[in-house]
Amino acid sequence: MQIRVINPNTTASMTAKIGEAARRVAAPGTIITATNPTSGPVSIESHFDEAISALGVTEEIRKGEREAADGYIIACFGDPGLLAARELTARPVVGIAEAAFHLATMISTRFSVVTTLGRTCIIAEHLLQSYGFAHHCRRVRAAEIPVLDLEDDGACAVSRIIDECRRARDEDGIGAIVLGCGGMADLTEEIGQAVGLPIVEGVTAAVKLVEALASLKLGTSKHGDLAFPRAKRFTGQFEYLSA
């Protein structure tokens, strides 16, 4: 089984870290290919960043289809371009926020999310609503660190994340914590030991879900709104998408 893990930003060091985390939990025989677009934002921290990165996600799906991938993971907590990606393939496509929310509800009746910047809390809250998990989540919290601090200032960033996770444990009345950034993919064990609660991380959660869906031969339905896009003409810089 081949799973293509797509980091929607262009920071290669984060892509490598995400790939390593995915490989640690992958079943024997599962091949993880970690990729990122060559064009786009170096980190994703706004609606604008997500909109720009979504095109890169769809390009990576198109590449994966040519390479016969068995499933895909969108490794950004905003799940940018998720539905568009699903339109382009009959294989399963899972976003890491979606995966983490699902698994958190299976081990706890209430969870909180700890993410990077305060402005992205609102994006996570929108996802909780649209996915139907808002009533399971007590609070979305921010450690107030830019995403790239996870690459450039690791120890300080981790300390701030742990502090926020402890506040969530002590104040929110929860049983589990969801980590709200793909760049936190390598921190699950360290944070779990420091906080003493189950820590759900989306990249690793998504790997197991894609493996399960692919092994059950459950792919993206091509009936209804996730059918392949209608062939049409594109203009300008997107002319190459014309079919």
pTM value is 0.95
Q: Say if residue 111 is in the same domain as residue 139.
A: yes
Q: Say if residue 22 is in the same domain as residue 40.
A: yes
42 dihedral zone (left: phi>0; alpha: psi -120 to 50; beta): alpha
List the domain range (segments joined by +) for residue 65: 2-95+204-241
pLDDT in tens, 33-68: 999 999 999 999 999 999 999 999 999 999 999 999
- HEC-encoded secondary structure of 40-59: CCCCCCCHHHHHHHHHHHHH
Number of domains comprising the chain: 2
Indicate which CATH number applies to the domain containing 149.
Answer: 3.40.50.12500
Q: Say if residue 234 is in the same domain as residue 171.
A: no
Q: Say if residue 110 is in the same domain as residue 189.
A: yes
pLDDT in tens, 15-32: 999 999 999 999 999 999
Q: Say if residue 57 is in the same domain as residue 102.
A: no
Q: Say if residue 111 is in the same domain as residue 68.
A: no
CA trace torsion 66, 72, 75, 78 (10° rounding): 100
